[in-house]
Amino acid sequence: MENEPQAAKPPEACCGTGPKLIFACSGAADVGKISDLAARKLTAEGVGKMFCLAGIGGRVSGIMETTRVATAILAIDGCPLDCARKTLEQGGFAKYEHIRLGDLGMEKGKTAPTDESVAKVVDLGKSRLAG
Amino acid sequence: MKLIQILGTGCPKCEKLKHNAEEAVKLSGTEATVEKITDIGQITSFGVMMTPALVIDGEVKAVGKVLSPEEIKKFLE
C-alpha cells in the first residue's frame, strides 16, 4: 500500500448537522485491515468520518452521544462475524448501512489488502453514504 | 461540587447552552461550576465530533443540542 490514508480529522462541526460516521471492524485478519483502510480513505475523501468502534463497545459517553446525532452510520465488516454491526446494535443503534466484505467476494485469510480491494469497498461506501 | 463543561467554539448556540446550564444550577440549587471549553483538541478528547456539547463531571450528556435549563436540571438531581 502506498500513501495509507490518515486517521479521522478533528471535528469542525459547530451548530451544523450531524456527521456521517463510519465504523470499521478493523479486525486482525486481512479483511479487517481492508475495512480499516477503506474507512480511513472515505474519511480522507470527505465522504464521512471514521469513528471509534471501541468507543461504542466501551459506551464512552462522548462517542455514544455523537453517534446518536449522526445523520448516517456506515458499518464495515471484514468477515461474516459482523463485529461492527453487532457492536452498533448492542449499543442501541438500529439504523445503519452495512458493508460485509465477504459479499464482495473478499474471503478472510485469502484477500490481500491491496489498493484495488480497498477501492472496491470505498466505492460501495460512497454509494451507501450518498444523499 | 459538580463540574459542568460546555464544549463549543463560541457560536450563539454554545453561549445559549452555557446560559441554560447556569440557569439550571440556580434552579436546582446544586453547587456547580460552569466552564466553557473552546479548544478543539480538548473538545475532541471527549470523543465529541459536534458542538455544542454538555459534559457533567466528565460524562458527555448531550451533543449538538441546546438543552433547556429544565432538561439540564434533571442531570443535576
Query: Are the C-beta atoms of residues B21 and B34 closer than 8 Å to each other?
Result: yes
Largest CA distance in chain A: 45
Tell whether A108 is covered by a domain: yes
Going B65 to B54 to A72 to A59, the CA torsion angle's sign is negative
Give the residue numbers spanning the domain of A79.
Answer: 17-125
A25 exposure class (CB count in 10 Å sphere: 0-12, 13-18, 19+): buried
Give the residue numbers spanning the domain of B35.
Answer: 2-76
Average pLDDT, integer, range A2-14: 49
Tell whether A4 is covered by a domain: no
Tell whether A3 is covered by a domain: no
CA distance to partner chain B, nearest, from residue A11 (Å): 5
**Structural domain count of chain B:** 1
Residue A92 maps to which CATH number? 3.40.50
A3 interfacial to chain B (CB closer than 8 Å):
no
- Spell out which residues of chain B touch residue A18, defining contact as CB-CB under 8 Å: 50, 64
Tell whether A96 is covered by a domain: yes
The residues pairing with A57 across neighbouring beta strands, listed in sequence order, are: none
- A5, pLDDT greater than 80: no
Tell whether A23 is covered by a domain: yes
Average pLDDT, integer, range A24-42: 98
Name residues 65-94 of chain A within 8 A of B (Cβ). Answer: 65-66, 68-69
Tell whether A1 is covered by a domain: no
Bin A109: left if φ > 0, else alpha if -120 < ψ < 50, else beta.
Answer: left
Query: Are the C-beta atoms of residues A104 and A110 closer than 8 Å to each other?
Result: no
Average pLDDT, integer, range A8-18: 60
* Structure confidence by residue, pLDDT tens digits, B17-62: 999 999 999 999 999 999 999 999 999 999 999 999 999 999 999 9
Tell whether A2 is covered by a domain: no
**Structural domain count of chain A:** 1
Residue B27 maps to which CATH number? 3.40.30.10
CA distance to partner chain A, nearest, from residue B55 (Å): 9
- pLDDT classification of A113: cutoffs 50, 70, 90: very high
User: Which pTM was predicted?
Assistant: 0.88
* Structure confidence by residue, pLDDT tens digits, A47-90: 999 999 999 999 999 999 999 999 999 999 999 999 999 999 99
